[in-house]
Structure 1
Amino acid sequence: MASGPSTTRRVDRRRFAAAVACAALAPAWSKAQDRSQPLYLTFDTGHMGVAGLVADVLARHQVPVTFFGAHERTKEGDGSLGDHWAPWWKARAAEGHEFASHTYDHAYWRADLPDGRFRIRPSAGPREGQDLTLDAAQYCAEIERGARRLDVVTGKPSLPLFRAPGGKTSPRLLAAARGCGWEHVGWSPAGFLGDELPSESVSNDQLLARALRNVRAGDILLAHLGIWSRKDPWAPAVLEPLVTGLKQRGFAFRTLRDHPRYAGWIARHARTR
């Protein structure tokens, strides 16, 4: 669903309902809604504690999304891109979702260095919390490693896109990534859905109301498959009413394969497994 020709299929709603009911066929996403009001819902990995709930909501409401995956620490299993979660990823691919790298070790950009290299700090993996110095090729390899692991667990090529953890980048970092065939995807101001914010200061009701009020056509929305720090999890309370509320406003959900900014890039840099 991000670069290249769209893989979205037109299906009869009754066929879709039957497929969901018997779990024998993957849902196919209808494009009957007005394409002039698209939204692009994206999920970054996290502790995966709400991954099952997210998948259920997306299937129930026929919402295609783009997942950005890093190999993060999880509440259960061997990490978000580990073997424990591989069946979950494979099922999402069968449903028609798209995937892109979030770097493998969820590596934050910290600074550009005078010699042209970058200071990076992974928040996962064996060097978690350590400041590392990478050149452009090494940073590209970190993106590629995440993409290749997604290729394995999903069974389909991930998109030639990436999202830097925290959205932290520099012009030099973005240029280096583009030189290796990776285009960065951030999110829209109103698309920051707030699931990372402390629930003590921002309630789920407030986050839902804000999103329903402020989201506009063309926005890229950001949520996560689990945030360790938020005490009142966002997804169980907000995701379903947000999806239904936005659909009632006439929005149609798409993956980044259909995004006008990225479709051409994806077509020119299409990956194979």
Structure 2
Amino acid sequence: MKRMLYKLVLCGSLLALTTAGSSAPSSEVVWNVTTDQKLIALTFDDGPNPVYTPQILDLLKEHQAKATFFVLGKRVQMFPAIAIREVNEGHEIANHTFDHHYLKNVSSEKLIEEIRQTQDIIFDITEQIPHVFRPPGGFYNEALLNMTKEDKLTVVMWSWYQDTKDWKKPGVDKIVHTVLSNVHNGDIILFHDLEGDCSQTVEALKRIIPELKKQGFQFVTVTDLIAKNKSK
């Protein structure tokens, strides 16, 4: 019944989100949002992580901050309670494929199958329908864009200067510096809550979030940030 409802909603009532970001190589892809408001989107790829995603959620809750989690379908199946918590605490759950295949290694058709599989998994577990998708590794082509557009998914990347590369474990200071040294209204910041050790990401967030709050920034979901696009 849930899957049938998902299909009906997807086909009948979802509206495509307006894309933004003048720095994007394609008008179909969001890299950042032009806004005069002090808004930022924190995004986390490749989760949920059973140890570190709950710590990230605790931090976000402490600071009344919202974020967008680009989850893998297989990990939502493994850790459904965390995905449900993300939704229940007001965060956005978004699609990052089922198994993190790069488009350079598989066909667009294979990737869209994974995207649709993950849409079903997320809806079955959380009763939420993702509106946004981020391709693993940032790889996309026109065929993929056309197919995600048909599925009413907006492709969202990240501000090119806000890739923390935290998955490389570059050190907490490096992660903090990447974010704070060149922050702008409408930035989309890339973190990871992937499988393995994400302790540097958690420790960096303990410094990043309070400092950005001190500077007057508010933390919103990607969808809410897109809705603030000044150039619409």
What range is the shorter-chain TM-score in? 0.7 to 0.9
Code of the aligned partner of 2:186: G
Q: 1:1-273 maps to which residues of 2 (within 5 A)?
A: 36-46=37-47, 48=49, 49-72=51-74, 80-83=75-78, 85-110=79-104, 119-120=105-106, 133=107, 135=109, 138-159=110-131, 161-197=132-168, 199=169, 202-226=170-194, 228=196, 233-260=199-226
- Report deviation, 1:260: 2.9
- Report deviation, 1:173: 2.4
Larger radius of gyration: 1
Sort the Cα spacing of 1:163 and 1:51 in 2 relative to 1 into closer, same or farther, 3 A: same
Q: Distance in 1 between matches of 2:108 and 2:202?
A: 38
- Report deviation, 1:233: 3.3
Code of the aligned partner of 1:182: L
Q: Distance in 2 between matches of 1:212 and 1:56?
A: 21
Contact 2:133-2:155 at 8 Å conserved across structures:
yes
Code of the aligned partner of 1:81: V
Name the structure 1 match of 2:26.
none
Instruction: Give the 3-state SS of the residue equivalent to 2:111 in structure 1.
Output: helix
Q: Distance in 2 between matches of 1:59 and 1:236?
A: 13
Q: Distance in 2 between matches of 1:262 and 1:167?
A: 24
Name the structure 2 match of 1:7.
none
Q: Which structure would you say has the larger RCO, counting Cα contacts within 8 Å and 6 or more residues apart?
A: 2
Code of the aligned partner of 1:211: V
- Report deviation, 1:196: 1.8
Q: Distance in 1 between matches of 2:128 and 2:56?
A: 20
- Report deviation, 1:236: 2.9
Q: Distance in 1 between matches of 2:165 and 2:126?
A: 27
Identity over aligned pairs, percent: 27
Q: Distance in 2 between matches of 1:182 and 1:262?
A: 18
Contact 2:133-2:153 at 8 Å conserved across structures:
yes
**Number of residues of Structure 1 aligned to a counterpart in Structure 2:** 196
RMSD of aligned residue pairs (Cα, Å): 2.6
Q: Distance in 1 between matches of 2:203 and 2:172?
A: 7
Residue ranges of structure 2 left out of the alignment (5+ in a row): 1-13, 16-34
